[in-house]
């Protein structure tokens, strides 16, 4: 087995060398300064000499450095790849089992239930990964994007992933794009990846965050500014002095939710905060290599001096003046500062009593996020306050879980009334068995997740889901109300009142992370047998299509035309349908199930 899964210094050096070679050709053609996004994309061109480079119209053929897949989408991608006749994936590829674990009573009972229910799928993914040179992260090891950030992402790289929030790796200076399974299987088979040359949005961050303001508030603010369509076919590139004040994992939170803008991906320039994170996650040599190649890991100086000349759109956010934000209900672009929510809730008749508070997910489960939340909880417990309603915590990875167990944050969560879920997506993607309310009951929840469309979290269209930073979620959960403002209001408990201090916590553990030693399976080689039961309702081997006859289909009848908002959630809803992601006939039954058909009303 020759597959190299890890992101080694040698691999990164090779990527940088090829990037510089390609950029030299592109610079001669364009004869102008380049943004960071352009450096990464054009540095991965399959044919830099002849590729058309018109923004917004040309289609680029690129050579990604990595592929990452989650267990729901990996099934079909691997089934497709198996038809390619290859012995192993052409690029480093990993599979992460995070989507099929249903949250209910907590990790201790939820994990055995998931292992039993999904045994057939897990066995297929594990054996196929082992057979085809793919790294396999076992169920419960962590959420794909957190594990990728901890282990595989690197500045200046290009990655595709079969999940909408793959852009999370942009927090480590990587262009990481969510794609479909067919794109992934093509790249795994050695083909180039095709994508429309994105337009570029530049976001200038100035000032420095303070008090209750967090990285989450940057992207919540931007969602309100650009809306869910504002980033479509565009890359969001952050720049300015404010970027260096945000931790690497904070940057990842921002780039993760760029998906809620419809953006192709989002990216930050390489800086010392990224270097510190690489060192903290046992990748010091990668930091050294990146330090030696800073010229290709940020935009050219001329771009900073005159951004409007090089970006298609430019926006500015003053971090020093930014107030904590909440978005929702039912859409991530309905944004307002926390000071305005109480009035808005009253005017709209929204239930202000919380039925659940949830923190974690791939968007906000870093060591820093957990620490800031625990800081708030400790203050409330000092006057005898605990959670008024269910409080669910989804750690992002076993590494995070192990570390917060050692350092005490997990103890704080347990004492304040948390139910700790598996290191998986859970309620964020609708994997939440909820029996505290009835379907159709109007209720309000607050999460630190990334999406809040109707029914997304709990399959109840009457659940009003608001999104905020983990520390704000913690504060609102302790108050039990969505109209509480921790910046101005007091909490009252059995032992007195407390005005919560702004959260404080280190971005990284002083004693290092406690690594996951059991969650990863290395590939073995082509002697591994991959089995799929012929009568399975969850997996179905694919048959090759007949060779194309060089004729296009003509006169086809259009059966559906999506009206209004139509995201991947509407095209192919998750929830119960995740069980059929490896069975083409069965999963086809949910095609556009969540969309409004303009033909039928």
Strands 135-137 and 158-161: unpaired
What pLDDT, on the 0 to 100 scale, is given for residue 576?
78
Report CA dihedral (168, 109, 401, 391) to the nearest 10 degrees.
80
Rg of the chain taking only CA atoms, in angstroms: 23
SS3 sequence, 19-39? HHHHHHHHHHHHCCCCCHHHH
579/151 Cα distance (integer angstroms): 28
Strands 193-196 and 59-62: antiparallel
What pLDDT, on the 0 to 100 scale, is given for residue 342?
97
pTM of the complete model: 0.95
- The stretches in the chain having pLDDT less than 50 are 1
What pLDDT, on the 0 to 100 scale, is given for residue 2?
54
DSSP string, 404-438: HHHHSHHHHHHHHTEEE--SS-GGGGT-B---SS-
Secondary structure E strands in 117-263 = 135-137, 158-161, 175-178, 193-196, 199-206, 234-239
- Count Cβ atoms within 10 A of the Cβ of residue 470 and give its class: 0-12 exposed, 13-18 middle, 19 or more buried: buried
Omega before 329 within 30 of 0, i.e. cis: yes
What pLDDT, on the 0 to 100 scale, is given for residue 408?
98
78/6 Cα distance (integer angstroms): 20
Per-residue model confidence as pLDDT tens digits over 480-518: 999 999 999 999 999 999 999 999 999 999 999 999 999
Sorted by where each begins, the domain ranges of the chain are 324-497, 562-597
What pLDDT, on the 0 to 100 scale, is given for residue 567?
81
pLDDT above 90 coverage of the chain, percent? 93
Specify the long-range contacts of residues 497-500, CB closer than 8 Å, at least 24 apart: 497/383, 498/379, 498/380, 498/382, 498/383, 498/385, 500/376, 500/379, 500/380, 500/475
Domain 324-497: CATH class, spelled out: alpha beta
């Amino acid at each position: 087995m020759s597959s190299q899964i890890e992101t080694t210094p040698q691999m990164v050096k090779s990527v940088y060398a090829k990037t510089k070679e390609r950029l030299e050709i592109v610079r001669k053609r364009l004869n102008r300064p380049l943004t960071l996004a352009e450096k990464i994309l054009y540095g991965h061109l399959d044919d830099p000499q002849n590729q058309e480079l018109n923004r917004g119209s040309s289609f680029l053929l690129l050579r990604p450095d990595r592929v990452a897949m989650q267990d729901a989408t990996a099934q079909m991608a691997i089934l497709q790849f198996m038809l390619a006749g290859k012995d192993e994936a052409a690029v480093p590829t990993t599979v992460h089992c995070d989507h099929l674990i249903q949250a209910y009573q907590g990790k201790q009972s939820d994990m055995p239930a998931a292992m039993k229910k999904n045994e057939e799928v897990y066995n297929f993914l594990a054996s196929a990964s082992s057979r085809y040179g793919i790294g396999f992260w076992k169920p419960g090891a962590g959420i794909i994007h957190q594990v990728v950030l901890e282990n595989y992402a690197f500045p200046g790289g290009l990655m595709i992933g079969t999940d909408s929030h793959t852009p999370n790796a942009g927090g480590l200076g990587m262009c990481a794009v969510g794609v479909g399974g067919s794109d992934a299987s093509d790249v795994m088979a050695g083909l180039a990846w095709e994508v429309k040359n994105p337009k570029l949005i530049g976001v200038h961050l100035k000032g420095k965050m303070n008090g209750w303001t967090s990285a989450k508030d940057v992207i919540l603010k931007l969602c309100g500014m650009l809306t869910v369509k504002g980033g479509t076919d565009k890359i969001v590139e952050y720049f300015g002095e404010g970027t260096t004040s945000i931790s690497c994992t904070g940057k990842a939170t921002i780039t993760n939710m760029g998906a809620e803008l419809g953006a192709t991906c989002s990216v930050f320039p390489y800086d010392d905060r990224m270097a510190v994170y690489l060192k903290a996650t046992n990748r010091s040599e990668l930091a050294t290599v990146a330090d030696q190649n800073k010229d290709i890991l940020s935009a050219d100086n001329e771009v900073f001096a005159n951004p409007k000349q090089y970006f298609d759109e430019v926006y500015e956010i003053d971090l020093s003046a930014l107030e904590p934000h909440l978005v929702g209900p039912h859409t991530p672009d309905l944004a307002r500062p926390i000071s305005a929510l109480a009035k808005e809730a009253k005017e709209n008749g929204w239930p202000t009593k919380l039925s659940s508070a949830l923190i974690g997910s791939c968007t906000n489960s870093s060591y820093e996020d957990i620490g800031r939340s625990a800081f708030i909880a400790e203050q409330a417990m000092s006057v005898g306050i605990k959670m008024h309603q269910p409080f669910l915590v989804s750690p992002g990875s076993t590494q995070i879980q192990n570390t917060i167990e050692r350092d005490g944050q997990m103890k704080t969560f347990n004492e304040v009334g948390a139910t700790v879920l598996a290191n998986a997506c859970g309620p964020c993607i609708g994997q939440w068995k909820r029996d505290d309310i009835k379907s159709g009951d109007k209720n309000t929840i607050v999460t630190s997740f990334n999406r809040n469309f109707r029914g997304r979290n709990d399959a109840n269209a009457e659940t009003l889901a608001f999104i905020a930073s983990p520390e704000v979620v913690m504060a609102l959960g302790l108050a039990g109300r969505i109209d509480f403002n921790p910046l101005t209001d007091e909490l009252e408990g059995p032992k007195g009142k407390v005005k919560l201090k702004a959260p404080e916590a280190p971005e990284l553990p002083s004693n290092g992370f406690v690594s996951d030693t059991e969650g990863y399976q290395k590939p073995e080689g082509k002697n591994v047998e991959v089995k799929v039961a012929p009568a399975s309702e969850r997996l179905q081997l694919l048959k090759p299509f007949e060779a194309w006859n060089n004729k296009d289909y003509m006169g086809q009848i259009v059966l559906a035309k999506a009206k209004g908002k139509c995201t991947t959630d509407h095209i192919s809803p998750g929830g119960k349908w995740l069980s059929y992601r490896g069975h083409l006939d069965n999963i086809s039954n949910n095609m556009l199930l969540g969309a409004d058909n303009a033909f039928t009303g």
